[in-house]
């Protein structure tokens, strides 16, 4: 089996055609979705970038790996310590190494490890290709390396390629000559004038006011950030440029697919399309960032086209992205490491089940310190440090009626909050009982002064 894993930074599922988006952002991704399984309730367990990809490749929650934030002790993976042998445990427990042991050539084309000094991310890969732009590279800079790798290796029998595109991540930097393909398209219906006016009044990190300030202080060297957001129509600058970045990336993904087709292996290659996290575009009144433990940040796409697997199906079960590790191990006949936290959904790929988890717990400690519980139609968010957003301690949203998190029901539905806290405590007890230390990295972040990016924001505001 050949496996291509497309890791598309900051990609929201609901801005893709295959998830029902009204704009034509993703024709090549949509084509793959028609031939596989589309997961509609797929979440990163730990957000954002560093905790998410650490969980993905280790197959373990951040509370177990120790990686929950972007700085301080909780940005480094816990090591074996005195029990370490000639090799550490991570080497043999990482997803790439498990595939390697099953006979796969494993490679990553990504600057992620360099960007976050996350060298443990590379564990298990035969090859690591760093484009060298520290996460600010566009698709046209990544593509030549990807095409060359496929030209050299694509017709081999067993390989796993992790291919990382960054375009939907701020700052939006699609070349000017690409134009503005969505300038005539309607904005999302829920982003009304009334909603915009309420967001305009919000202060704090990632508010519209903060985004305007960043446009002047950080993003002004990119021409797509050349206008302040003052009116409802100005929101188009964020939405259009985010969608433009997806479309630009999708066209380069199309060239990757064409290369596989030219090599005669496209139909025989498993293609998985996902993300490290999403991007808030108005949820909780914040924009162009992935700084919360909510639906906008933590819900991600997963499109799973497996040769011989189920085609044209939507799976609505609750799944973590770290469930990918045991799923791939099952599909290729490899052993699971004992410490993996993931639960395989290989039966969903074979079409024998639509199963999922009863509930999910999501953690964010880079911009805020939050844990949330996703269960039934509910999302409960508990803030331990609000990251200077002005969040209350508890928030509760009914996602079926309010998917964009505009109505906090925590005061009205105390019964649901109590159920959520029970689930959160149940999860936390299970996690603490199954680890070899007594430290929750969320509290490490709190004790070391708070989330890295929140403290950066506070320092910037105090200047």
Domains of the chain: 2-358 (3.40.720.10)
- In this predicted model, what pLDDT tens digit does every residue of 17-59 receive, in sequence order? 999 999 999 999 999 999 999 999 999 999 999 999 999 999 9
Query: pLDDT for 378-431, tens place per residue?
Result: 999 999 999 999 999 999 999 999 999 999 999 999 999 999 999 999 999 999
Question: Residues with Cβ < 8 Å from 144, sequence gap 6 or more?
Answer: none
Main-chain phi, psi angles of 285, to 5 degrees: 75, 15
* Region 169-173 average pLDDT: 94
Which DSSP letter does residue 357 get?
Answer: B
* Beta pairing, strands 37-43 & 280-281: unpaired
Q: Which positions ≥6 away from 73 have C-beta within 8 Å?
A: 66, 441, 444, 448
pLDDT greater at residue 380 or residue 218: 380
Query: Quick one: pLDDT at residue 105?
Result: 98
- Choice among 171-185, 345-359, 370-384 with the minimum mean pLDDT: 345-359
Mean pLDDT over the full length of the chain: 96
Band (211; pLDDT cuts 50, 70, 90): confident
Asked if 69 and 441 touch (Cβ cutoff 8 Å), the reply is yes
State whether residue 114 is helix, strand or coil: helix
* pLDDT at 448 > cutoff 90: yes
59 alpha carbon, distance to own chain's centre = 15
Residue written as token pair 């029902």: 20
pLDDT tens digits along 191-207: 999 999 999 999 888 99
Structure tokens at 279: 């991007």
Q: Give yes or no for residue 463 having a pLDDT over 80.
A: no
Per-residue confidence (pLDDT) for residue 459, from 0 to 100: 82
What pLDDT is recorded for position 217?
83
Average pLDDT over residues 330-336: 95
pLDDT digits (tens, 9 = 90+) for 69-95: 999 999 999 999 999 999 999 999 999
Mean local confidence (pLDDT), 158-171 = 97
Q: In this predicted structure, what is the pLDDT of residue 218?
A: 82
CB atoms within 10 A of CB 377: 13
pLDDT exceeds cutoff 80 at 462 = no
Beta-bridged to residue 382, according to DSSP, are 371, 394
* pLDDT > 80? residue 453: yes
* Phi-psi region at 172: left, alpha or beta (left = phi > 0; alpha = psi -120 to 50): beta
Closest among 143, 137, 133, 206 to 174, alpha carbons compared: 137
The reported pTM is: 0.97
pLDDT, tens digit (0-9, with 9 covering 90-100), for 289-310: 999 999 999 999 999 999 999 9
Closest CA relative to residue 159, chosen from 120, 105, 108:
105
Dihedral pair phi/psi, residue 166, rounded to 5°: -110, -5
């Amino acid at each position: 089996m050949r496996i291509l894993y497309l890791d598309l930074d900051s990609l929201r599922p609901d801005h893709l055609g295959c998830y029902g988006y009204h704009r034509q952002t993703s024709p090549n991704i949509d084509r793959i979705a028609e031939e596989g399984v589309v997961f509609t309730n797929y979440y990163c367990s730990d957000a954002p970038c560093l905790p998410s990809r650490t969980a993905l490749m280790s197959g373990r929650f951040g509370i177990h790996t120790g990686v929950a934030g972007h700085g301080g002790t909780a940005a480094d993976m816990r090591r074996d310590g005195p029990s370490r042998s000639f090799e550490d445990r991570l080497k043999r427990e990482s997803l790439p190494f498990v595939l390697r042991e099953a006979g796969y050539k494993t490679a990553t084309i990504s600057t992620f490890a360099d960007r976050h000094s996350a060298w443990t991310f590379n564990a298990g890969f035969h090859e690591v290709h760093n484009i060298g732009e520290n996460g600010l590279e566009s698709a046209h800079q990544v593509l030549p390396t990807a095409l060359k790798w496929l030209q050299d290796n694509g017709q081999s029998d067993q390989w796993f390629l992790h291919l990382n595109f960054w375009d939907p991540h701020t700052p939006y930097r699609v070349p000017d000559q690409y134009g503005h393909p969505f300038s005539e398209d309607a904005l999302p219906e829920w982003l009304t004038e009334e909603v915009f006016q309420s967001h305009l009044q919000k202060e704090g990190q990632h508010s519209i006011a903060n985004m305007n300030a960043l446009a002047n202080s950080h993003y002004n060297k990119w021409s797509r950030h050349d206008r302040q957001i003052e009116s409802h129509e100005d929101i188009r600058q964020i939405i259009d440029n985010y969608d433009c970045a997806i479309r630009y990336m999708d066209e380069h993904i199309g060239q990757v697919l064409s290369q596989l087709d030219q090599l005669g292996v496209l139909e025989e290659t498993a293609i998985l399309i996902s993300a490290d996290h999403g991007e808030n575009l108005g949820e909780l009144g914040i924009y162009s960032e992935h700084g919360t433990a909510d639906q906008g940040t933590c819900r991600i796409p997963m499109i799973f086209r497996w040769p011989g697997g189920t085609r044209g199906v939507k799976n609505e079960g609750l799944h973590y992205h770290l469930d990918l590790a045991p799923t791939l191990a099952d599909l290729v006949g490899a052993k699971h490491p004992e410490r993996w936290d993931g639960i395989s959904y290989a039966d969903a790929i074979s079409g024998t089940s639509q199963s999922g988890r009863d509930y999910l717990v999501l953690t964010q400690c880079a911009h805020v310190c939050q844990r949330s519980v996703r269960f039934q139609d509910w999302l409960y968010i508990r803030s331990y440090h609000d990251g200077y957003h002005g969040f209350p301690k508890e928030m509760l949203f009914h996602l079926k009626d309010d998917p964009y998190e505009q109505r906090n029901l925590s005061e009205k539905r105390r019964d649901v909050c109590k159920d959520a806290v029970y689930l959160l405590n149940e999860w936390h007890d299970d996690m603490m009982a199954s680890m070899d230390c007594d430290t929750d990295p969320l509290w490490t972040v709190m004790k070391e002064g708070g989330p890295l990016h929140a403290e950066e924001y506070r320092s910037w505001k105090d200047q």
